[in-house]
Amino acid sequence: MIDPPGARGVRRIAIGLALLSLLSLAVTAWILATVSREQEILKQIIKHLPTSDLKIANELSGDLSLQSSLLALLVLNVMATAVAFVFVVRAYLSSEKSLADVKVLSSDILASMDSGVITTDENGVITSINTRGRSLLGWDPNGSNGESDNAVGSVGAPKPGIGGNIAEINRDHGMLAQICEESRLRAEPIRDRDYRVQRDGLVQTFRAGCTRLHNRGGQQIGQVIHVRDVTQKALMEERLRRMERYMGLGSLAAGLQHEIKNPLSALSLHIQLLCERLAKETGDAEVNESLDILNTEVKRIGSVLDGFRSYASINDIGRSPVDVNLLIEKLVRLLRPQAEGQKVQIRVQPSREMLGMIQADSVRLEQVFLNLAINAIASMPDGGVLCFVISGDDRGIQVDVVDTGKGIPAEIQPKIFDPYFTTRPDGTGMGLALCDKIIRQHNGNLDFQTSPQGTTFTVVLPVNEEV
């Protein structure tokens, strides 16, 4: 590991002080040796001095002995100080190394997280952002902000890099600045705020939160923003919500069948008898028209009730060997006259690999693909291309129903699988709801992707036991 600059500086200082200590020790040893020699010389001189000068000579000898003791004490002090300094320097360098290891570990942890982590100061200026955060926000540190052409953002907006303000991120991620401001005003953390971003024609769901950033003294110094890509989780939650919409509706459907269907049948019978009687007694065209309207509306109510019963029914589906390729070919022959009338070309892209049969209800599967195809043709009133793309492997078969229409508006995308939701004046709103239910009865999935260039409905069916 490369030592940090602070540790290298301390190491240089320690080496310098160690050399200075050795030099001081050498000088002290030299002085001590000199004093020792002087004491020897003084002893020799004292032997030849007269008695009157012995007192001064003895005082001088005592001073030299005191200096010798002080020098010895100084040597011990220098050595002890040097040893203590060595231990202090070693402890400091060890602390520096531990701190560097902790910093590297924290950096590795942040870089390995699947969530984006962004920190800002009190003014909303970004102070750090991990690798995943750069990826989620579409920031390329090499100079390109990584935005796709289809991304909605302000032209020339600053990159979400260090030193930029969180409020200056492009509009797609404007939710981050909003939750930061809300967290600052409310002085409490914000959790699990979802927002959607359209990138490369696909809609991604992000979940963001914001908490306050404090230092060791407990003082607030900024905010921490965390962002996760929860697109797959959001899809699973949406599938669960779809399942909840018809769970328990079987008993309700049976009750409606009893309470509405039987009186409705009686009403239809009496309207028909009334039509026959009035047709003989009077030729009033207005009365006949009113009776025809009554009869038509009664039949429409009956069909709506039958659709609801089919949607709410929890009866098991029948299973038999089904060749998806032959099913699609049959469907194309059925749809071709209608498609040609609306200037829509139908194409089939079969799988490159040999696909086996699956255990499924062929009638209901045909109903699903027919409904998806009719919706696709209706989305291209000025003509276009309808394509069936078939693929698969040992685990399952996938059929993509692709159109070149204008796509599904964002405001109605969450509702398209809801019962009785339709944008067509002649629709009942049960088509896609029934398709979704039928595919789930086959333990499969029905999802879609949409953009202004068209919509793709994807049907995934698992391969069951061999037939």
pLDDT in tens, 52-106: 665 666 666 666 666 666 666 666 776 777 777 777 777 777 777 777 777 777 7
pLDDT in tens, 3-42: 555 556 656 666 666 676 667 667 666 766 776 776 677 6
Mean pLDDT calculated for residue range 324-349: 90
pLDDT in tens, 177-232: 888 888 888 888 888 888 888 776 667 888 898 988 888 778 888 888 888 888 87
Which one of 3.10.20.340, 3.40.50.720, 3.30.565.10, 3.40.980.10 gives the CATH number of domain 320-462?
3.30.565.10
| Better pLDDT: 2 or 26 | 26
What's the pLDDT score for residue 388?
94
What's the pLDDT score for residue 218?
80
* Six token digits for residue 440: 């789930």
In angstroms, the CA 92 to CA 7 distance is: 8
User: What SS3 string covers the chain?
Assistant: CCCCHHHHHHHHHHHHHHHHHHHHHHHHHHHHHHHHHHHHHHHHHHHHCCHHHHHHHHHHHHHHHHHHHHHHHHHHHHHHHHHHHHHHHHHHHHHHHHHHHHHHHHHHHHHHCCCEEEEECCCCEEEEECHHHHHHHCCCCCCCCCCCCCCCCCCCCCCCCCCCEHHHCCHHHHHHHHHHHHHHHHCCCEEEEEEEEEECCEEEEEEEEEEEEECCCCCEEEEEEEEEECHHHHHHHHHHHHHHHHCCHHHHHHHHHHHHHHHHHHHHHHHHHHHHHHHHHCCCHHHHHHHHHHHHHHHHHHHHHHHHHHHHCCCCCCCEEECHHHHHHHHHHHHHHHHHHCCEEEEEECCCCCCCCEEECHHHHHHHHHHHHHHHHHCCCCCEEEEEEEEECCCEEEEEEEECCCCCCHHHHHHCCCCCCCCCCCCCCCHHHHHHHHHHHCCCEEEEEEECCEEEEEEEEECCCCC
Residue bearing tokens 């360098």: 93
What's the pLDDT score for residue 344?
92
Query: Is the domain 113-229 a CATH 3.40.1260.10 member?
Result: no
Residue 385 has pLDDT above 90, yes or no: yes
In angstroms, the CA 365 to CA 324 distance is: 9
Q: What is the largest CA-CA distance in the chain?
A: 174
Pick from 194, 189, 192: nearest CA to 173: 194
